[in-house]
């Protein structure tokens, strides 16, 4: 494979070419040359040229939180369609949750993921379960799962409610520098909840999910981490505990304070949390039913501030496909979730236009790679060509999806910013 990308602005804070408009020549999976007006043999039959006004290029984007549904729920999504959706959204890498059937809690299930995704241009990184069947009772063999390719450990959509389990997991992961990812929700406070607890839930007559349920879990986890960290003879240098999909203003403040104290933590936010508030649910649109729920305007502004000042490390799609039978029913009975792989970048560009492009790209590239301990990527000569080519200003309308499910509130909406190609593993995928 030989590819020449003409006059693209390089968006990569780690690259010596950052901010420059350059040609990029790729050959056999490597960046061979970066320069101005690179000369090539135009008659070369193996050469493909990408040229378009306004192009940008960055290291390949990575999504820390994707529900692939396969194995077990292939009627909602399978590994082929989730990879197609990821590439359509500009992602060269995705980390998938363990909440499948069977759960990703053994070397066999991780082997199935590896084998089923070998031929795709998207790298799929399994997050293994902490507890068997994600039931919150018995530990999995995390050392074996680590050696089998698990990039992190989490019960995924299920928070670790048992404080002793979380503490022991932190201690168990220390010898091999493992990462624990937890979604903060005290489910005893959100049982039967449908949306954010507040004026809107009262007006709609729906049981609310209080912000306190998220904040209490973050406070608890931080205390447990502080204890485990203080007991460790060899504390890890990177992130030890990652909070997935935070949604409240106080959650941002708690994480900001903990980082200032030096605790080894990180966190992410779902792109759709920047687009909606709980008032959007007045029409009972089940495509807006997500967990964590959309909060109030102060929470949304705090999330934006957290992204801007670096408190929030990464942006995720929180891609959670649900079939028609799970969504086209009464709001009370509908499943939580939005498909987001194809729209994550554009949603942030559209609804948080003040976030500098370089900062946004960092939260889709370098930050998530650091969190998962994946090898660093940068746009430089003789480096691996794992790249996303995109147009940050292009306006487009989201009209169709390659996902098996259609549960998105963004259909028919005009969005700003679009991925156009991904380059990975000798693939050149036009989107």
b/e 240-269 (16+ beta carbons within 10 angstroms → b):
bbbbbbbbbbbbbbbbbebbeeebbbbbbb
376: DSSP letter = P
Catalytic, out of 221, 278, 318, 362: 318
Sequence-separated (6 or more) residues with CB below 8 Å from residue 385: 3, 26, 29, 30, 31, 423, 424
3-state SS class at 330: coil
Tell me how many degrees the CA angle 181-317-297 measures, rounded to the nearest 5.
95
- Active-site residue 93, yes or no? no
Sequence-separated (6 or more) residues with CB below 8 Å from residue 65: 95, 97, 244, 245, 268, 270, 316, 317, 318, 319
- The enclosing H or E element of 373 equals none
Closest CA to 269 of 64, 54, 127: 64
CA gap 155, 134 in Å, rounded: 5
CA gap 301, 48 in Å, rounded: 44
Euclidean distance between the first and the last CA atom of the chain, given in angstroms as a whole number:
18
CA gap 53, 420 in Å, rounded: 12
Closest CA to 240 of 345, 324, 314, 167: 167
Both tokens assigned to 272: 């759709």
3-state SS class at 409: coil
CA gap 95, 369 in Å, rounded: 10
265: β partners = 241
- The enclosing H or E element of 328 equals none
CA gap 59, 376 in Å, rounded: 9
Give the residue ranges of DSSP H helices in 174-247: 187-190, 199-204, 211-231
Give the residue ranges of DSSP H helices in 321-393: 324-327, 344-351, 357-362, 366-371
CA gap 264, 237 in Å, rounded: 7
Closest CA to 430 of 87, 4, 153, 37: 87
The residues annotated with a catalytic role in the active site are: 318
């Amino acid at each position: 494979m030989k590819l020449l990308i003409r006059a693209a602005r390089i968006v990569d804070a780690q690259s010596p070419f950052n901010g420059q408009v350059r040609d990029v020549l790729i050959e056999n999976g490597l960046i061979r040359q970066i320069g101005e007006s690179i000369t090539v043999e135009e008659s070369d039959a193996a050469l493909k040229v990408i040229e378009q006004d306004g192009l940008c290029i960055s290291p390949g984007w990575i999504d820390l939180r994707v529900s692939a549904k396969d194995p077990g729920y292939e009627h909602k999504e399978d590994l082929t369609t989730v990879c197609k959706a990821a590439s359509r959204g500009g992602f060269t890498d995705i980390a998938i949750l363990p909440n499948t059937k069977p759960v990703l809690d053994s070397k066999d299930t991780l082997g199935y993921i590896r084998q089923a995704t070998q031929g795709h241009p998207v790298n799929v990184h399994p997050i293994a379960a902490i507890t068997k069947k994600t039931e919150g009772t018995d530990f999995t063999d995390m050392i074996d799962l680590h050696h089998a390719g698990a990039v992190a450990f989490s019960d995924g959509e299920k928070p670790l409610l048992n404080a002793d389990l979380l503490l022991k997991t932190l201690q168990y992961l220390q010898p091999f520098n493992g990462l624990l990812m937890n979604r903060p929700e005290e489910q005893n406070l959100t049982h039967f909840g449908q949306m954010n607890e507040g004026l809107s839930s009262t007006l709609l007559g729906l049981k609310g999910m209080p912000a306190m349920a998220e904040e209490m879990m973050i406070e608890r986890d931080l205390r447990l981490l502080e204890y485990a960290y203080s007991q460790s003879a060899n504390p890890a240098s990177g992130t030890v505990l990652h909070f997935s999909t935070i949604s409240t203003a106080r959650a941002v403040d708690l994480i900001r304070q903990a980082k200032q104290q030096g605790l080894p933590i990180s966190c992410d936010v779902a792109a759709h949390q920047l687009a909606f508030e709980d008032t959007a649910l007045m029409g009972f649109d089940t495509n807006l039913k997500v967990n964590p729920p959309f909060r109030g305007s102060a929470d949304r502004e705090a999330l934006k501030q957290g992204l801007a000042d670096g408190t929030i490390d990464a942006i995720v799609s929180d891609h959670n496909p649900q079939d028609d039978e799970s969504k086209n029913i009464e709001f009370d009975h509908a499943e939580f979730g939005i498909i987001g792989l194809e729209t994550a970048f554009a949603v942030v560009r559209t609804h948080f236009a003040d976030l500098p492009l370089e900062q946004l790209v960092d939260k889709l590239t370098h930050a998530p790679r650091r969190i998962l301990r994946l090898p660093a990527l940068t746009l430089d000569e003789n480096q691996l060509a794992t790249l996303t080519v995109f147009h940050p200003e292009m306006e487009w309308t989201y009209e169709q999806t390659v996902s098996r499910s259609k549960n998105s509130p963004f259909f028919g909406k005009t969005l700003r910013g679009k991925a156009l190609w991904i380059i990975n593993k000798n693939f050149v995928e036009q989107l």
